[in-house]
Amino acid sequence: MDAHIPFSDRIRMMQGDHKLENCPVRQVMQGMFGKWSTLLVLALAERSYRFGELRRLVPDISQRMLTQTLRDLERDGYVYRTVHPTKPPSVEYGLTELGLSMLGPLNDLVIWSNDNFAAVDAARKRYDTAGRS
């Protein structure tokens, strides 16, 4: 989408015939920017992982949240799930073509976030100090 188009026109174009809460762009973006989604996608960009490996790789995430996040990413088409017929069954996760296609823009956003963390953190502290929180 052309960045030179006024925002109000872009909103109408993104929205199409949908109500704003059903806007296609919002629908795609909200699924990708959950607390754990980006981290898991970046991990899976390196290689496919078994569930237990992901659990150890991201120790702060609960088993329930890992399961739910992987299901959401699979539902949206970013992640595939393969069950291997072993005893006990092992489950492996990796990125689909759609998941791989978002890595460029996602990586740019991650780099931007890292480069600008100090400025964002300082802005939050100024805001909180001003008593607006």
Residues 80 and 118 reside in one and the same domain:
no
List the CATH number of the domain containing 45: 1.10.10.10
Q: Percentage of residues in the chain with pLDDT exceeding 70?
A: 88
Residues 10 and 61 reside in one and the same domain:
no
pLDDT at residue number 16: 61
- For residue range 85-110, what is the model confidence (pLDDT) as tens digits? 999 889 999 999 999 999 999 999 99
Query: Which residue in 16, 12, 84 sits closest to 48, CA to CA?
Result: 84
As a whole number of angstroms, the distance between CA 29 and CA 124 comes to 23
What total of structural domains would you count in the chain? Answer: 3
Residues 46 and 93 reside in one and the same domain:
yes
Residues 48 and 85 reside in one and the same domain:
yes
Domain containing 127 equals 102-133
pTM for the complete prediction?
A: 0.79
**How far is CA 78 from each of CA 12, 33, 45, rounded to the nearest angstrom?**
27, 13, 11
